[in-house]
A = this chain, B = another copy of it.
């Protein structure tokens, strides 16, 4: 708990001086002012996070946290639980969606077992931070103990510390866990105050009947567990998941290290709702990669005050949206670093009369 509190207190404000200087530089580059739109804003935000006028993003990592969920016993998912472990093997073989997109953007993929229901064979690229063999069924009581929730978050802090040692300039969040849209909807409903039906979607593609069941399961879980929604840790413990807790830790740890955090889809959004509850300064360090086709995500982003960079109707998770967004963010900082100024290029500026 000490390391978690230390990390939360270590999250400072954005560096306003670096942001002002980055804005000035953007305005001096060979283009009409503001004509790179959100790329300009992104470059300035990254300058403020890193505390550098011209930040560079050489070292990129996408952390994919995997875990299982007791609530799958209620029939909320289309896929059997063993798919979590099978997909982790797929990540380790480099053949899943996130591997393809992370390769393209030059990011390393960090695969973490946060609590898969079963033992995986050791693999040089698999980090084991297993809190337990999956959560308990949240419809029958708390998904995990408060101590397990803290363990999950602290595992996320440790992952960031380890990656930071290797060199880290930007981090993306990803997830894998059959059934994990169910806890994510529960968290989103609890923290935003929206009705469960308004934040619960089809996940991997369930039909109408199963969706109705999923909404009921979540409503029951929220009733049974009597959450204290002012307390992020309480929400995480009662209706969360180990991978969600791990992502909360990744976000808090990355912000404490002044690393821009690219949050992926709905599961990352739920983690961000908890993380910002626990660490109110964290929001400035978050960049929303995309808006997922999963309906609750839009609600979560609105509550977080984040505008997604992409809207491509993706809903795969794994960090796939984050990988694409990292390219856009890198494009933004590259314009700041590599474009010539009007003076350098000998290009005439806008005519005064017309401004």
Chain B: CB-nearest residue to A83: B348
Say if the beta carbon of A280 comes within 8 Å of chain B: no
**Known A95-B339, A97-B335, A207-B355: A314·B78 in contact at CB below 8 Å:** no
Say if the beta carbon of A315 comes within 8 Å of chain B: yes
Say if the beta carbon of A161 comes within 8 Å of chain B: no
Q: A87-B347, A90-B345 are in contact. List 14 more A-B contacts (CB 8 A).
A: A32-B204, A75-B354, A78-B351, A79-B349, A80-B348, A80-B351, A86-B345, A89-B345, A93-B345, A97-B339, A103-B338, A104-B327, A210-B354, A310-B310
Residues of A5-40 at the interface with B, using a CB-CB cut-off of 8 Å, are: 29-39
Residues of A129-180 at the interface with B, using a CB-CB cut-off of 8 Å, are: none
B331 in contact with A32 (CB, 8 Å): no
For the complex formed, measure the closest distance between the CB of A184 and the CB atoms of chain B, giving whole angstroms: 15
B207 in contact with A32 (CB, 8 Å): no
Residues of A316-353 at the interface with B, using a CB-CB cut-off of 8 Å, are: 316, 320, 323-324, 327-328, 330-331, 334-335, 338-340, 344-351
Fill in one digit per residue for A183-212: 1 if any B CB lies within 8 Å of its CB, else 0.
000000000000000000001111100100
B354 in contact with A206 (CB, 8 Å): yes
Say if the beta carbon of A100 comes within 8 Å of chain B: yes
Give Cα A339–Cα B100 distance, bound, in whole angstroms: 7
Say if the beta carbon of A101 comes within 8 Å of chain B: yes
A351 in contact with B314 (CB, 8 Å): no
For the complex formed, measure the closest distance between the CB of A298 and the CB atoms of chain B, giving whole angstroms: 14
Fill in one digit per residue for A251-282: 1 if any B CB lies within 8 Å of its CB, else 0.
00000000000000000000000000000000
Chain B: CB-nearest residue to A204: B32
Say if the beta carbon of A293 comes within 8 Å of chain B: yes
Q: Which of A35, A87, A206, A210 has the most CB of B within 10 A?
A: A35
For the complex formed, measure the closest distance between the CB of A45 and the CB atoms of chain B, giving whole angstroms: 14
Give Cα A31–Cα B99 distance, bound, in whole angstroms: 13
Residues of A with Cβ closer than 8 Å to B?
29-39, 75, 77-80, 82-83, 86-87, 89-90, 93, 95-97, 99-101, 103-104, 203-207, 210, 293, 309-316, 320, 323-324, 327-328, 330-331, 334-335, 338-340, 344-351, 354-355
Q: A309 touches which one: B79, B99, B312, B347 (CB < 8 A)?
A: B312
Chain B: CB-nearest residue to A313: B37
Q: Which of A97, A207, A346, A350 has the most CB of B within 10 A?
A: A97
Q: A205 touches which one: B32, B87, B310, B335 (CB < 8 A)?
A: B32
Give Cα A87–Cα B330 distance, bound, in whole angstroms: 23
Chain B: CB-nearest residue to A81: B348
B residues within 8 A CB of A207?
354-355
